[in-house]
Amino acid sequence: MTEEAPLPSERRARLIARVRETGSARVSDLSRVLGVTPVTVRRDLALLVADGTLEKVHGGARIPARAAGMSTGATTGIGMPAVTPADDAGQLTIGMVVPSIDYYWPEVIRGVRDAAHGTARLILRGGSYDVDQVRRQVAALVGDDGGPGVDGLLVAPPVDGPDAAELGEWLAGLNLPVVLMERRLAAGPYREPLESVATDHALGSGTAARHLAERGHQRVGLVTSRTSPTSAAVRRGFLAVTDELGLDVILDLETVPLSDAGWADEAAAVLDRCAETGVTALLVHSDKEAISLVERAQERGVRVPANLAVVAYDDEVAGLADPPLTAVRPPKATIGAGAMELLARRLEVGDDRPMHRVELSPRLVIRSST
CA atoms within 13 A on the CB side of 260: 12
217 lies in a domain?
A: yes
Same domain membership, residue 269 and residue 296: yes
How many folded domains does the chain comprise? 3
User: Which pLDDT does position 253 carry in this prediction?
Assistant: 97
Residue spans of alpha helices (H) in 215-323 = 231-245, 263-277, 287-299
User: Which pLDDT does position 78 carry in this prediction?
Assistant: 23
More confident residue, 54 or 251: 251
Same domain membership, residue 236 and residue 271: yes
User: Which pLDDT does position 369 carry in this prediction?
Assistant: 98
DSSP 26-39: EHHHHHHHHTS-HH
| pLDDT beyond 70 at 147 | no
Tell me the pLDDT tens digit for each residue of 96-138: 999 998 899 999 999 999 999 878 999 999 878 889 999 999 9
Q: Domain with 78 in it: what CATH number?
A: 1.10.10.10
36 lies in a domain?
A: yes
Confidence of residue 149 (pLDDT cuts 50, 70, 90): confident
User: Which pLDDT does position 19 carry in this prediction?
Assistant: 81
Same domain membership, residue 126 and residue 80: no
67 lies in a domain?
A: yes
User: Which pLDDT does position 145 carry in this prediction?
Assistant: 57
Tell me the pLDDT tens digit for each residue of 12-58: 878 887 887 777 788 888 888 888 888 888 888 888 887 778 887 76
Tell me the pLDDT tens digit for each residue of 151-185: 999 999 999 888 999 999 999 999 899 999 999 99
User: Which pLDDT does position 86 carry in this prediction?
Assistant: 38
| pLDDT beyond 70 at 3 | no
Mean pLDDT of the chain: 87
Residue 298: alpha-carbon gap to chain centroid: 36
Same domain membership, residue 347 and residue 257: no
User: Which pLDDT does position 89 carry in this prediction?
Assistant: 46
User: Which pLDDT does position 127 carry in this prediction?
Assistant: 75
Q: What is the pTM of this model?
A: 0.75
Same domain membership, residue 303 and residue 190: no
Same domain membership, residue 170 and residue 154: yes
Same domain membership, residue 342 and residue 320: no
191 lies in a domain?
A: yes
User: Which pLDDT does position 363 carry in this prediction?
Assistant: 96
Same domain membership, residue 211 and residue 304: yes
**Which of 89, 123, 153 is the endpoint of a domain?**
89
Same domain membership, residue 82 and residue 103: no
* Phi-psi category of residue 226: left, alpha or beta, with phi > 0 → left and psi -120 to 50 → alpha: alpha
369 lies in a domain?
A: no
**Which of 26, 61, 89 is the endpoint of a domain?**
89
User: Which pLDDT does position 90 carry in this prediction?
Assistant: 58
Cα–Cα distance for residue pair 136/140, rounded to 1 Å: 6
Same domain membership, residue 235 and residue 184: no
Structural domain including 51 reads 8-89
More confident residue, 148 or 201: 201
Cα–Cα distance for residue pair 230/368, rounded to 1 Å: 25
**In the chain, pLDDT over 70 holds for what percent of residues?**
89
| pLDDT beyond 50 at 221 | yes
Tell me the pLDDT tens digit for each residue of 52-87: 788 877 677 877 754 443 333 322 222 223 333 334
Same domain membership, residue 286 and residue 236: yes
192 lies in a domain?
A: yes
Average pLDDT (337-355) is 91
**Which of 89, 113, 137 is the endpoint of a domain?**
89
User: Which pLDDT does position 75 carry in this prediction?
Assistant: 28
275-367-284 Cα angle (round to 5): 45
156 lies in a domain?
A: yes
Please enumerate in sequence order all residues whose Cβ is within 8 A of that of 234, keeping only pairs 6 or more positions apart, or say none. 201, 202, 204, 205, 222, 224, 283, 285, 313
For 124, 137, 170, 175, 261, the CA distances from 230, given in Å and listed in that order, are: 22, 22, 22, 29, 22
Burial class (CB in 10 A: 0-12, 13-18, 19+), 165: middle
62 lies in a domain?
A: yes
Same domain membership, residue 216 and residue 320: yes
Q: Furthest-apart CA pair in the chain: how many Å? A: 83
User: Which pLDDT does position 126 carry in this prediction?
Assistant: 85
Q: Domain with 253 in it: what CATH number?
A: 3.40.50.2300
